[in-house]
Amino acid sequence: MSGTFELRGKRVFVAGHRGMVGSAVVRRLASEDCEVLTAGRDELDLLDQQGVRRWMADRRPDAVVMAAAKVGGILANDTYPVDFLQDNLVMQTNVVDSAFRNDVGKLLFLGSSCIYPKLAPQPIPEDALLTGPLEPTNEWYAIAKIAGLKLCQAYRRQHGVDYISAMPTNLYGPGDNFDLTSSHVVPALMRKAHQLKLQGGKALSVWGSGKPMREFLHVDDAADAMVWLLKNYSGDSHVNVGSGEDITIADLARTIVSVVGAEATITFDATKPDGTPRKLMDVSRLFATGWRPRYGLSDGLEQTYGWFLRHIDKGDIRLGAA
Ligand code: GDP
């Protein structure tokens, strides 16, 4: 770790502020003495190069957090490979290029743990990047994210600007997608357990064998780590952002049942895929800077369920079909 960036008095553009991660970064920046800039889709189309250049020239941020991306689950990735590859390449290139043209001194690019090879060593160190083939179902998204972090490295090398990248693990929390057809495991099981509680059902159906292991991080912790890196990290390598601990899907399901207060037994649906057996990030680089997450998994799930309960009737949670 080297170099510090003072946020006080700065203008920080958060691209993608309506997404789960971007909105958490905006919440976190509220406790910094800086001005947060955001732009709705009607005001700024990140796919439009001229529009992004104009917006950046007009608003002149001092720092940029690139949290905008075309994201989705395994099915969406497989069905819309052009959108996942091309839209992400275009959006991120527009943002990084326009930032540089308008003298933005600090930029944080957000990626994902799917940039790593399918068979990476566990826990996955940053230097496992590009050492083997990717998981084929999300390689479109992964290739775009790899190009994004390489672009930041290239700008550092060629132009000496402080553009850095963070690769978060599986995130959950307020603002997540609770649509069972496209959601990740935490919101899916939380919603299913909630429905069982309301309807008095007894069996929580968990996809696959329950044996795969996953690492989870509350999105507010992820946002905290990102602001921490923005302020304290300056380096060529991307940085893994995670909790450093993983859990089996079966244990996760038990924890969610208890947090929700559903009296359910867990059943395993072998017709659904397990996915990769384990995906734990090596977070020693991040932890060596002194950063630690605040939420344990149970606390984080409780906070998320509280948010879910407060919002379920307001119509602002992404639920899709029941
Ligand atoms: P992944 O980390 O990319 O595999 O994404 P997911 O969060 O979608 O899945 C993580 C693990 O949870 C996989 O082994 C899934 O099979 C398992 N899982 C169990 N129940 C569910 C469910 O209801 N929805 C989802 N998405 N995954 C589930």
pLDDT digits (tens, 9 = 90+) for 267-311: 999 999 888 889 999 999 999 999 999 999 999 999 999 999 999
Low-confidence ranges of the chain (pLDDT < 50): none
275 CA to centre of ligand 1 in angstroms? 7
Give the ligand 1 atom nearest the CA of 249.
12
* Secondary structure of the chain as H, E, C letters: CCCCCCCCCCEEEEECCCCHHHHHHHHHHCCCCCEEECCCCCCCCCCCHHHHHHHHHHHCCCEEEECCCCCCCHHHHHHCHHHHHHHHHHHHHHHHHHHHHCCCCEEEEECCHHHCCCCCCCCECHHHCCCCCCCHHHHHHHHHHHHHHHHHHHHHHHHCCEEEEEEECEEECCCCECCCCCCCHHHHHHHHHHHHHHHCCCEEEEECCCCCEEEEEEHHHHHHHHHHHHHHCCCCCCEEECCCCEEEHHHHHHHHHHHHCCCCEEEEECCCCCCCCEECECCHHHHCCCCCCCCCHHHHHHHHHHHHHHHCCCCCCECCCC
Does the beta carbon of 249 sit less than 6 angstroms from any atom of ligand 1? yes
Please tell me the predicted confidence (pLDDT) of residue 228.
98
Q: Which of 112, 207, 266 for a ligand 1 pocket mutation test, highest count of atoms within 8 Å of Cβ?
A: 207
Does the beta carbon of 28 sit less than 6 angstroms from any atom of ligand 1? no
Say what the pTM is: 0.95
Please tell me the predicted confidence (pLDDT) of residue 79.
85
Please tell me the predicted confidence (pLDDT) of residue 44.
97
Does the beta carbon of 189 sit less than 6 angstroms from any atom of ligand 1? yes
Please tell me the predicted confidence (pLDDT) of residue 138.
87
